[in-house]
A and B are shown apart, each in its own frame.
Chain A
Amino acid sequence: MKPAASRLGSWLLLAGIAAGFLLACGEGHRAAAYSKPRAFTRFHQRISPDASFYPPYAMLEALALARWAPGKTLVIIGGNSILNGVAQPESEVWSLRLQEMLGDRYVVVNLAFRGSMAAQGGALVAESLQRRGYPVIFVANTYPHAGCGRAADGPYGYFYWQALHQGKLSDYPARTADLQRWRTARPEAERIKLAETELGARIEAVTRAQSLWVHVSYRHLFTVWNFILGRDFWRPRVWAPDNEPAAPPVEERFRHEPEAELATVRGFTETLYVPGPSGSPQLDPAWPTRLGDEIEAAFVPALRPRMLMLLSQSAPPYLERLTPAERSRNRAAYAAAARIWRDHGINTIVAGEGFAASDYFDRLHLTGEGGRKVAALVAEQITQMNSD
């Protein structure tokens, strides 16, 4: 090319870069409004971060609003793998049962993720939609010792930063101050990682790159290798159905590292006890304040009366192996935790008390039958909350 033509060619290339980028941003904003998995029941393993599929925050909101219509109450489910329905085949997922039990006046949306905390993901969607005037009920789960976590922590922390920088969340100084304190106390490497996640969320608010390319990954072509998909990693995830297997017969369950699992069950409540004045264990007197502060910082006051927290109880085969004293401390810790949650204005029930071994797939996860029982408990509570 002659110099003038070469210069023009360079300008055209640069103009093309700008145009291509801007077009992609525009398409990203469009995708953010509509992109969501088809016939959605839950974020099963192959459309979850386990398989390199990271749904953007916008997708959670799009899913929540997909089936909603005026006059209906949105029931948004957050929490961890228990409420995600791990160990329940797609047709047996507990949230489907909940939808059936609640009927047409409710829209149940399962936004729970494996390893997620109660304050993350679905909680933010519930807050955002409630703030915009939608009738919302938020259901999540936790354990007595685990609290509710922090919205910005862990692999699902990006939901918080994206929701925040997309202007979805209320200005809630208690949460902001808590996150600031927590962030400052992190080791430097983690602080850098957090800053990257937050900056990424700021960039996402402008470019919607995650929205567009997760959509492309779902509908057209996946571009990141993942061992769960192996050779099929490139196939669009719309192709990957929910393949959660059914539970094996009850006599084949609860065999995986039984001693380690029993120690974990103990840890759920025993860690809450400290030696009392007489030397016998008593519930840590600092715990209610600690947990209370966590709850206050995690959930905006307006959402709390519209929340239902499930304290997930462990499977009977493990509880039965605790000593009578441990069992009694376990029950007391669950009851005390429920009281603390209720003291902060949140409806709370213990999920799993009185369940049979056959309702559990493993130490924590419920089978379809166990899920049905939880759905019944939750449906009853929700109906009551909505009539109050």
Chain B
Amino acid sequence: MIFNTYWFIGFCAVFFPVFWLLRLPGLRRTWLLAGCAYFHYHFAGPAGVLPIVAIGIATYLLALPRIRLLCALGVVLAVATLCFYKYAVFLCHDAIGLLAPRLAADLGRQVQDLLPGAPPLAVSFFVFEFVHYQIEVYRGHEPIRRPDDFILFAIHFPSLTAGPIKRYGDYLPSLRQGLTGVSPEDVAAGATRLALGLVKKVVLADNLTLVIDFHQPQFTSLPPGQAWLFAGALSARILLDFSGYSDMAIGLSRMMGIRLPENFHYPYAATSLQDFWQRWHISLTSWIRDYIYIPLGGNRHGLARQLLNAMIVFALCGLWHGPAWNFVLWGLWHGAGLVLNHAYPRLLGPLGTRLAGLFARFPVLGWALTLLWVIPGWLLFFYEPATAWRMAVKLFTFA
């Protein structure tokens, strides 16, 4: 829901004309602040807003003095919040439960009593933006001084619920520009982008969802061609749904003269898995690269360490999507793909070198192989591992 609701239409019908009519940046800022707060409160409710307000205040205050220890504490606090709200039950039942089932059951019950029915809306996105902020301040960048700037960075309504994950260094100058003056070019470009996002989501992805939901129970009895079509539809649906959301967020923001980072760049045109991850959910991938992969050592400590880092990073990337093993396995699937992608020229010796040459000469081969890796991966993303396995076996045995 969120953008495709009548409530949001009503919200926009009031918010945008007033935003455009207010000429004074201070008034615009206040209006935007009120709009963002109202939007957040409407969709998250008091139970969803309070934890974010608490962690937001802590993040803002801890970064202000530019003391590295406090920034580190801020990171720990944000990550602990995420772990508590999103992963506590998973950790009890699915991790500790494997070793000590009784202890896990007791812990699980206690944790369940403490937790609200659902984690605060978009807690993963909030935490990633707060962690980015603390690390940048830790690295010596200037913190945000104005509390209203920080609040707007935290709850900028177009990107509040599903990104793109912003960087405050890019967001704040753009915010100032939007508050100073919105050009008709911005509004026109934003409206066009919004329309594109809505078409992707409402016209295309939602229709695919109807087809997928209907055929999923009968997947095992589908003929091979249709089974592959189903997998293709699943892949198209997630791209259209998520990139549609990003288009809407970018478009809505642009209608205020504020630029958000791009999140997708034709990911299914990628000619390698590495290329795919430079085109898919770009704001998440670059966040993971900057704040996990590079601090882990990146590619600076030899091939083995680089490959291990890739596996760790992608397991975490998978886990970020949800507290379930299928997401972890999806991440590992991609991690393994990247490891193969990196290591095969060396592992296979002269054959590897010849293969690499072949892929360089015929990019279409790399494109096809990438899709053959990515598409079955979506089965793991959407279904329980056992179901995904059965579906994948059916796809590749053409049963």
Contact = CB atoms under 8 A, between A and B. Distances in A.
Please tell me whether chains A and B touch each other in their complex, using a CB distance cut-off of 8 A.
yes
Interface of A: 6-7, 9-11, 13-14, 17, 195-196, 199-200, 203, 223-227
21 contacts: A7-B185, A9-B188, A10-B183, A10-B184, A10-B188, A11-B184, A13-B191, A13-B192, A14-B184, A14-B187, A17-B191, A195-B7, A196-B6, A196-B7, A199-B6, A199-B7, A199-B10, A203-B9, A224-B207, A224-B210, A227-B214
Contacts of A7: 183-185
Contacts of B7: 195-196, 199
A7 B5 CA distance: 31
Contacts of A199: 6-7, 10
B195 to A, nearest CB: 8
Contacts, number: 42
A6 B185 CA distance: 7
A200 B6 contact: yes
A96 to B, nearest CB: 34
A263 B211 CA distance: 35
Nearest to B185: A10
Given A7-B183, A199-B6, A199-B10, A225 B188 contact: no
With most chain A CB atoms within 10 A of its CB, the pick from B5, B185, B188, B203 is B188
B184 A196 contact: no
Interface in B153-206: 183-185, 187-189, 191-192, 203
Nearest to B195: A17
B216 to A, nearest CB: 12
Nearest to A1: B185
A13 B211 CA distance: 35
Interface string B1-20: 00001110110000000000
B9 to A, nearest CB: 7
B210 A226 contact: yes
Interface of B: 5-7, 9-10, 183-185, 187-189, 191-192, 203, 207, 210-211, 214
Given A17-B191, A225-B210, A196 B5 contact: yes
Contacts of A17: 191
A203 B188 CA distance: 24
A313 B55 CA distance: 61
A10 B187 contact: yes
Contacts of A227: 210, 214
A14 B188 contact: yes
A225 B184 contact: no
A199 B6 CA distance: 6
A205 to B, nearest CB: 12
A227 B203 CA distance: 17
Contacts of B210: 224-227
B6 A14 contact: no
A13 B187 CA distance: 10
B193 to A, nearest CB: 12
Nearest to B211: A225
Nearest to A188: B45
A13 B188 contact: yes
A313 B104 CA distance: 55
A193 to B, nearest CB: 10
Nearest to A195: B7
A208 to B, nearest CB: 15
Nearest to A198: B6
The 4 closest A-B pairs by CB, nearest first: A10-B188, A10-B184, A199-B6, A13-B188
A203 B184 contact: no
B225 to A, nearest CB: 14
Given A10-B184, A227-B214, 7 more contacts: A6-B185, A11-B188, A196-B6, A199-B6, A199-B7, A200-B6, A224-B210
A9 B184 CA distance: 9
A161 to B, nearest CB: 11
Nearest to A17: B191
A42 B85 CA distance: 52
A200 B10 CA distance: 10
B10 A223 contact: no
A14 B5 CA distance: 23
A256 B184 CA distance: 64
A9 B190 CA distance: 14
Contacts of A195: 7
